[in-house]
Amino acid sequence: MADEGNIISNLSLDGAEGVAPNGEDNSPAIGLISQYIKDLSVENPNAPESYQWTEAPEIHVDFNIAARALAPDVHEIELKINVTSKGAQGTAFIVELAYGALIGMRNVTEEQAHPFLFAEGPRLVFPFARRIVADAVRDAGYPPLLLDPIDFNGLYMAQLAQAQATATAEPAGHA
């Protein structure tokens, strides 16, 4: 027991060794608070005839990422995924999902927050949204649709590069 007392007595509670007292932690922290379906729509307009179609449909997938501050330390990410399956005979199904996630951020700069909200956060929640889409397609009577993984970090970097290229090109165009 004496050793346990020494361990406790060696801990600094006054911040002298880099550990701040409770409530005074000022190191950056980001965490996932919760995830949820904001909106889910499944359309199966040509069932049951579409179950008999022999031509492989074309699957079209669109997605969009939005983020907003709900409080100084809480942000919401919204990942929208729209999937449409169409063939020569018509639309087999449409699935529209708006999937939300609450992100807690403390002591994080805008330069750190933006990439997390638009790249890393969506990467973390995508597998859950992907499962919901697969289940919705299966529940509509079709084989589950497993969406391919999305490189959110790569897309984020590409959009930054494109925005920078556009910003540098605009002043030259106005000259």
* Digit-coded pLDDT (tens) for 35-77: 999 999 999 999 999 999 999 899 999 999 999 999 999 999 9
Measured CA to CA, the distance from residue 116 to residue 77 in angstroms comes to 10
Three-class DSSP labels, 108-152: CCHHHHHHHHHHHHHHHHHHHHHHHHHHHHHHCCCCCCCCCCCCH
Read off the pTM: 0.78
Say what the pLDDT of residue 73 is: 94
What pLDDT, on a 0 to 100 scale, did the predictor assign at position 26? Answer: 79
CB under 8 Å to 158, separation ≥6 — which residues? none
Q: What is the mean pLDDT of residues 103-132?
A: 95
Q: Check: CATH 3.10.420.10 for 33-150?
A: yes
CB neighbours of 133 closer than 8 A, spacing ≥ 6?
81, 83, 95, 97, 145, 147
Query: Contact at 8 Å (CB) between 80 and 114?
Result: no
Look up residue 143 and give its two tokens.
């084989």
Mean pLDDT of the chain: 86
What confidence category does residue 120 fall into, taking pLDDT thresholds of 50, 70 and 90?
A: very high
